[in-house]
Amino acid sequence: MTASNHHQPHLSSDDPRIMLDGEIGQFESVPPYPPRTEREAEFYSLRDGEMFLNMGPQHPSTHGVLRVVLKINGERVVDLDPVLGYLHRGVEKLCENSDYHHIISQVDPLEYVSSLFTEWAPVMAFEKLLDVTVPRRAEYIRVLTGELLRVSSHALYQGWMALDLGGLAPILYSFIERDEIVEMLAAITGQRMLFNYFRIGGVNGDLNHEFMSRLGDWMSRALKEHETNIGLLNENEIFVRRMRGIGRVDRDMALKMAVTGPNIRAAGVPFDVRRAHPYSVYPELDFNIPVRGSNGGGDSLDRYLLRLDEVRESLKIIDQCLHNMPDGPIMARLPRLLRPRPGRAWAAVEAPRGLYGTYAISDGTDQPFRMKIHDPSFVNMQLVGQLMKNNLIADTMAVMASLDPVMGGIDK
Amino acid sequence: MDRLLRKRLETRFDGKLLGPVRQRHDETEIHVGTADLVEIMNALHDEADLKFEILADLAGVDTGDQMQVTYHLWSEMTPDWLRVIADGLPRDNPRIPSLTGLWPGAEWMERETYDMFGIIFEGNRDLRRIYMPPDYASFPLRKDFYLADDAARSPGGGVRHMEQTHVPAQASPNAVRRTVKTR
Amino acid sequence: MTQDGREASLPDAVAANVSPAADDTALVPAGERAVGSPIVVPNTLWTSGREGAYPTGSSSYLHLASLEGSDLMLKDDARWGALEVIPTKADIVVDLIRMNSLWPLLSGLACCAIEMMSAATSKNDMDRWGMFPFRASPRQADVLIVAGTLTTKMAGPLVRLWEQMPEPKWCVAMGDCTCSGGRYKRSYSTIEGIDRVMPVDVYIPGCPPRPEGLIYGMMKLGQLVKERRGHWDEHVIAPNVPTDV
């Protein structure tokens, strides 16, 4: 395809084990360089009958650019090594060189599907540093928009779960749901995706008529649409049989792997930051935490069903927020140039994927000294290596999709 | 602000804390040295009245003088977050024992800290770069790694405050406070 | 000149105006391991009909429709070498076919990918214009919609994907990060705009662009396809006409 006289630069990937077209016939022993770590030595040595299969950074699943090197024996996956970093944008370094206000827009693209939560945790940490009380109306608006985004994110999860297993229809339903919610949020934030809505001390804009009318319209249909979406897949035999029994996580493994969010709640541990360490106005709201897999742990189907349960709880919360919305200001009065006291603050929220936390160190200037972002998908991806032993290749995508990773957060 | 937790920590780890137990809002903070780290973490994890089973975060910090590794833990016994700061890692050879024996899920977090700071976690079976390409030569989040088009170091000088990095290029030793001042 | 056949090397006038390997676009000085200067593929499939089109911004583009019935179309042997028996309107038909069935490569890197998927699903349906099948394999794709930030680590695989796509192919830069680096312009690990590594036909700004914005960009791409405007000079797909027409 390329011209014969074309000098092809030797575009070796960062991994010398990948063979390009021009190198067919030259076989390099694996690994060509001495393995750097114990785990590399263990992984990159092949026994009889094993081979490597590279699910490269571009692949049909929609999580993003994740590369997984599978060591397979026939159709069974013996081991796998995820390679991250294809979307590493250096957000933490950029945050160190930004104003506190600017950080809110910097951290948006981390969990781009649910980006209000990525703003919420830093904003809470900065409010701790500044000792700011957020007005109650702003808190209610935060919870309301956050739960809306959680519903949207779980709806997208359903679609992606089906898409990774080969079903092309449910994602269309998911995107209908997502589009409706996101247009609602665009009415108050102005953006469909990377909202940049939360501010230190409150939120940016108050609820307006368009938002309320769209929300009311959607809420009247929401539960029924949720039931429809459930009915799409729950009784589909192929779907259930592909998910049941795959990727079983039990309580000990979940705690040891530092997993949080629906993945740990589907393993039987009732840890939800909204109840374990309540923030904002969650203590006043009445909702339950669904937990599955309390005996023996949960598999992929449990994780899927748990997220559906969570959608129902979120709808309850949205309802309560609408009914109890107080009046008042939506933002605390703060100076424009923010210089918090020197100190450290940690804040964590319950994002749709787990515990999303921010550790902020301030040194008295108007730029933070260190902003560490703890993303739940990052630790959740470690589970894939544990869960994939002796499963089929086709189950890799099922397991990975059931953990609901978002590469923006994994790679920061 | 759990006073009971503070008492428990002070009595249990009496000689090993490098400083008082600090509490603010809903966080409790202890400073430990790298030698005692594994023992203290095991105690925090196993003991019945502490039971810090959930590792929420593992962060590397480069204060100008030294490096730290900060752990955030949660337990159902106390309403506070616990922050354990392992202090005193020298900047030229930062080594700290790894927690992968206790929490295998810390492996990737330690890899990330190594990738960004160069802190070596002894005992981590897989300490290689996770974000940057494997042959990348520097550690991006260190304070002596400046972004490429850093206006502060450009001939233009970086007049606006947004263009100053945290450590200005021509800082006099007194002008910049390099350690985090705590109360 | 270009009329005289398809030599393997660039025609002089074109080469003089080609500036792909300029130093300001090289990421890293040559010789170091990097994606390096943009990859220039000398065009042996399609001879360039318009030398110096882009840099000097000379003649307006000829619409194929204006050449209808002229014998210039009959002599359009740039790509119809063996197929001269096809009537003159074949070019137009083929372009219409291409324009209405551009199959994108599933290359969503980051946040813009969600908006791309949203543009492809129910509410803003790109299937109306034939663009629904997002091919997973580059060998079957026409358009590379780069949606999301390109990092230095991903640049190699992405350029390899681009090279694996067969001609004719187009590239759409969706989102601020691909147009110019966007909000990550200061970062140490991103590439400031994918036009540093591959030729781009349509730039769609926005962070992320709305699905309607992406569809507008694809409409513009359709116009480009129909008018046979390509990206680099070597890839200009144009009728083989002298410039004094």
Find chain B residues with C-beta within 8 A of C185's C-beta. Answer: 149
**What are residue A164's phi and psi, to 5 degrees?**
-70, -25
Predicted confidence at residue C59, as pLDDT, reads 38
SS3 C100: helix
- Which phi-psi region, left, alpha or beta, contains residue C78 (left: φ > 0; alpha: ψ -120 to 50)? alpha
CB pairs under 8 A between A and C: 128
Query: From the centroid of its chain, how far is CA B51?
Result: 21
What is the total count of domains within chain C? 1
Are the beta carbons of B81 and A96 separated by less than 8 Å?
Answer: no
Return d(Cα B61, Cα B41) in angstroms, integer.
19
CA distances from C196 to C15, C38, C155 (A): 19, 6, 10
Per-residue pLDDT tens digits for B120-172: 999 888 888 899 887 788 888 888 887 766 555 554 455 554 455 544 444 44
Does B160 contact A at CB distance below 8 Å? no
Return d(Cα A399, Cα A391) in angstroms, integer.
10
Return d(Cα A183, Cα A195) in angstroms, integer.
11
Predicted confidence at residue C68, as pLDDT, reads 52
Rounded to a whole number, what is the distance in Å from the CA of A293 to chain B's nearest CA?
A: 19
The label of the residue with tokens 């976690």 reads B121
Establish whether the linkage from the previous residue to A342 is cis, with ω within 30° of 0.
Answer: no
One-letter amino acid at A104 equals I
Per-residue pLDDT tens digits for B25-82: 889 999 999 898 999 999 999 988 888 999 999 999 998 888 999 999 999 888 989 9
Interface of A with B in 70-129 (CB under 8 A): 84-85, 88, 90, 92-94, 96-99, 102, 128
Out of C42, C153, C160, the one facing A6 most closely (by C-beta) is C42
Topology (CATH) of A97-386: Cytochrome-c3 Hydrogenase; chain B (1.10.645)
Predicted confidence at residue A121, as pLDDT, reads 95
Closest chain A residue to the Cα of C159, Cα to Cα: A11
Q: Which two tokens stand for residue B96?
A: 């700290």
Return d(Cα A194, Cα C64) in angstroms, integer.
42
SS3 C143: strand
For C71-203, where are the alpha helices, taking DSSP H only?
71-74, 90-100, 111-120, 152-164, 176-180
Does B137 contact C at CB distance below 8 Å? no
Does A277 contact B at CB distance below 8 Å? yes
Are the beta carbons of A172 and C149 separated by less than 8 Å?
Answer: no
Rounded to a whole number, what is the distance in Å from the CA of A214 to chain C's nearest CA?
A: 16
Is C142 within a domain?
yes
Ranges of chain C whose pLDDT falls below 70: 1-91, 228-245
Closest chain C residue to the Cα of A60, Cα to Cα: C136
Q: Which two tokens stand for residue A204?
A: 């940016």
Out of A38, A128, A382, the one facing B125 most closely (by C-beta) is A38
Return d(Cα B178, Cα B66) in angstroms, integer.
10
Give the residue from B28, B145, B166 with the most A CB atoms within 10 Å of its CB, the best one to mutate. B166
Predicted confidence at residue A118, as pLDDT, reads 94
Helix or strand run (H / E) with residue C104: strand C104-105
Closest chain B residue to the Cα of A16, Cα to Cα: B134
Domain chopping of chain A, boundaries: 1-41, 97-386
CATH code of residue C191: 3.40.50.12280
Is C180 within a domain?
yes
Give the residue from A95, A128, A370 with the most B CB atoms within 10 Å of its CB, the best one to mutate. A370
Is C214 within a domain?
yes
Are the beta carbons of B140 and C188 separated by less than 8 Å?
Answer: yes
Rounded to a whole number, what is the distance in Å from the CA of A325 to chain C's nearest CA?
A: 31
Are the beta carbons of B147 and C187 separated by less than 8 Å?
Answer: yes
Predicted confidence at residue C229, as pLDDT, reads 61
Residues in chain C: 245
Return d(Cα A76, Cα A317) in angstroms, integer.
43
- Tens of pLDDT along chain A (412 residues) come to 333 333 344 445 555 555 555 544 443 434 546 777 888 888 888 888 888 888 878 887 767 888 888 888 988 898 888 888 899 998 999 888 888 988 999 999 998 998 999 999 999 999 999 999 999 999 999 999 999 999 999 999 998 888 888 888 888 888 998 999 999 999 999 999 999 999 999 999 899 999 999 999 999 998 888 888 888 788 888 888 888 888 888 888 899 999 999 999 999 899 999 999 999 899 999 999 999 888 888 888 899 999 999 999 999 999 999 999 999 999 998 888 888 889 999 999 999 999 999 999 998 888 899 999 999 999 999 988 888 877 888 888 888 889 988 988 898 8
Give the residue from A23, A163, A164, A192 with the most C CB atoms within 10 Å of its CB, the best one to mutate. A192
Rounded to a whole number, what is the distance in Å from the CA of A316 to chain C's nearest CA?
A: 27
Find chain A residues with C-beta within 8 A of C207's C-beta. Answer: 194
Helix or strand run (H / E) with residue B43: helix B37-46
Are the beta carbons of C8 and A5 separated by less than 8 Å?
Answer: yes
Are the beta carbons of A276 and B74 separated by less than 8 Å?
Answer: yes
Rounded to a whole number, what is the distance in Å from the CA of B176 to chain A's nearest CA?
A: 10
Q: What domain range is C177 assigned to?
A: 101-226
Subunits with 3+ C-beta pairs closer than 8 A to C: A, B
Interface of C with A in 41-80 (CB under 8 A): 41-42, 44
Per-residue pLDDT tens digits for A314-370: 999 999 999 999 999 999 988 888 888 899 999 999 999 999 999 999 988 888 999
Out of C153, C186, C189, the one facing B149 most closely (by C-beta) is C186
Is C222 within a domain?
yes
Q: Which domains does chain B have, with CATH numbers?
A: 3-142 (3.30.460.80), 146-183 (no CATH)
Is C201 within a domain?
yes
Predicted confidence at residue C122, as pLDDT, reads 78
Give the residue from B126, B132, B150, B163 with the most A CB atoms within 10 Å of its CB, the best one to mutate. B126
**What are residue A360's phi and psi, to 5 degrees?**
-115, 130
Subunits with 3+ C-beta pairs closer than 8 A to A: B, C
Are the beta carbons of C113 and A64 separated by less than 8 Å?
Answer: yes
- ipTM score for this prediction: 0.85
Does B74 contact A at CB distance below 8 Å? yes
**What are residue C22's phi and psi, to 5 degrees?**
-65, 150
- Nearest CA-CA partner of C99 in C59, C64, C54: C64
Interface of A with C in 82-141 (CB under 8 A): 85-91, 93-94, 97, 105-106, 109, 112-113
Out of A6, A176, A192, the one facing C41 most closely (by C-beta) is A6
Residues in chain B: 183
Helix or strand run (H / E) with residue C65: none
Q: How many other C-beta atoms lie within 10 A of the C-beta of residue A60?
A: 14
Alpha-carbon torsion, ordered C77, C82, C85, C91, to 10 deg: -50
Predicted confidence at residue A180, as pLDDT, reads 92
Indicate the pTM of the whole model.
0.79
Strand order in the sheet with A370-374: A343-351, A354-362, A370-374
Cα atoms in the Cβ-side hemisphere of radius 13 Å centred on A33 = 9
Are the beta carbons of B132 and C33 separated by less than 8 Å?
Answer: no
- HEC letters along chain A: CCCCCCCCCCCCCCCCCCCCHHHCCCCCCCCCCCCCCHHHHHHCCCCCCEEEEEECCCCCCCCCCCEEEEEEECCEEEEEEEECCCCCCCHHHHHHCCCHHHHHHHCCCCCHHHHHHHHHHHHHHHHHHHCCCCCHHHHHHHHHHHHHHHHHHHHHHHHHHHHHCCCCCHHHHHHHHHHHHHHHHHHHHCCCCCCCCEECCEECCCCCHHHHHHHHHHHHHHHHHHHHHHHHHCCCHHHHHHHCCCCCECHHHHHHCCCCCHHHHCCCCCCCHHHHCCCCCHHHCCCCCCCCCCCCCECHHHHHHHHHHHHHHHHHHHHHHHHCCCCCCCECCCCCCCCCCCEEEEEEEEECCEEEEEEEEECCCCCCCEEEEECHHHHHCHHHHHHCCCEEHHHHHHHHHHCCCCHHHHHC
Is C105 within a domain?
yes
Residues of C with CB under 8 A from a CB of B: 33, 152-153, 185-189
Predicted confidence at residue A44, as pLDDT, reads 82
**What are residue A349's phi and psi, to 5 degrees?**
-125, 165
Helix or strand run (H / E) with residue B114: helix B106-117
Predicted confidence at residue A138, as pLDDT, reads 94
The label of the residue with tokens 């790694």 reads B145
